[in-house]
Amino acid sequence: MRQKSWLDRAVELSSFIATLALIAMMLTSVADVGMTKLFRQPITGSYDMVESTLVFAVFLGIPATFLSHGNIVVDVVDFFASKATVRRLKILAAVFSFVFLVLLAWNMWPQAQDAYRFGDKKPELGLPLYVLWLPMLAGTGLSILAVVVAAFRANDHKGDA
pLDDT of residue 156: 77
Rounded distance between C-alpha atoms, residue 44 and residue 6, angstroms? 40
pLDDT of residue 78: 86
Predicted TM-score (pTM) of the model is 0.91
Please determine, for residue 121, whether its predicted confidence score (pLDDT) is greater than 70: yes
Per-residue pLDDT averaged across 90-108, rounded? 96
Percent of the chain clearing pLDDT 70 (strictly above) = 96
pLDDT of residue 161: 46
Please determine, for residue 12, whether its predicted confidence score (pLDDT) is greater than 50: yes
Percent of the chain clearing pLDDT 90 (strictly above) = 85
SS3 label, residue 1: coil
- By the 10 Å C-beta count (0-12 exposed, 13-18 middle, 19+ buried), 96 is classed as exposed
Per-residue pLDDT averaged across 78-89, rounded? 91
Neighbours of 142 (CB within 10 A): 25
pLDDT of residue 158: 62
What torsion do the CA atoms of 31, 32, 37, 39 make, to the nearest 10 degrees?
A: 90
Rounded distance between C-alpha atoms, residue 102 and residue 98, angstroms? 6
49 with 125: CB under 8 angstroms? yes
- The secondary structure of residue 101, as a DSSP letter, is H
Rounded distance between C-alpha atoms, residue 137 and residue 28, angstroms? 25
Per-residue pLDDT averaged across 20-42, rounded? 97
User: Residue 1: which pLDDT band, with cuts at 50, 70 and 90?
Assistant: low
Please determine, for residue 23, whether its predicted confidence score (pLDDT) is greater than 90: yes
28 with 21: CB under 8 angstroms? no
Closest CA to 71 of 155, 143, 157, 20: 143
